[in-house]
Amino acid sequence: MNWQIIFNPFIRFSEKWLLTIGIISAIAGSTIAVYCGVRYDGVIDVHTFPDITFVNSIKENLISITLLTFLLFVLGKIINPKTRFIDILNSSLLFRIPFYVSALLTSVPAMKTVEKEVLKNINTLDKIKIQPFDLAVLLIISILLIALLIYAIVLLFQGFKTATNAKKPSHYISFTIALILAEVLSKIILSTF
């Protein structure tokens, strides 16, 4: 298996193909959000929210993608003036795909069972009774969610690194700061919805 396709598709595929996949994924991800009852209420967040509409989900995705693209593009231009907007946009679009998979994982019945049990006993946590099977599923899904978050960041980093030709530790630190800033700003902007 060629790991490059999975972890750094940016050097293997054309920008038009990546853009098409990214746009289709964003639309599919917004549909998944409505079906699974989740919000993408931050650049790196997925939370349950049963009353989400397709229009709001598209807005959330668009805000996250736009904000991240803008911040990374500005940083990319500082690092390398030849940085292309399309490459940063593609990185931001593909970065979101693992979050759409995360949304699907939240709709696993065992997750819903645990969520209902916790919400039912929110004020008396010592009364929460979770079945061993549900707990095992929760543990497995939690590990998968962490792996998906790491994969998303790897995708974004590889796309950014390829687009900007970043090589110095200061570039990597700046990337991390831009990602954290994007998360904070997206939380502020999306909290107004």
pLDDT one digit per residue (tens) for the chain, 193 residues? 567 777 788 888 889 999 999 999 999 999 999 999 898 888 998 888 888 899 999 999 999 999 999 999 999 999 999 999 999 999 999 999 999 999 998 887 777 777 777 777 677 766 777 777 878 888 899 899 999 999 999 999 999 999 999 889 999 999 999 999 999 999 999 888 7
How far apart (Å, rounded) are the C-alpha atoms in residues 49 and 51? Answer: 6
Q: pLDDT (tens digit, 9 = 90+) per residue, 4-16?
A: 777 788 888 889 9
Question: Within a 13 Å sphere around the CA of 78, how many CA atoms are in the beta-carbon half?
Answer: 11
User: Which contiguous run of DSSP H or E holds residue 144?
Assistant: helix 132-164
**What is the number of other CB atoms lying within 10 angstroms of the CB of residue 148?**
18
| pTM recorded for the entire structure | 0.87
How far apart (Å, rounded) are the C-alpha atoms in residues 176 and 56? Answer: 28
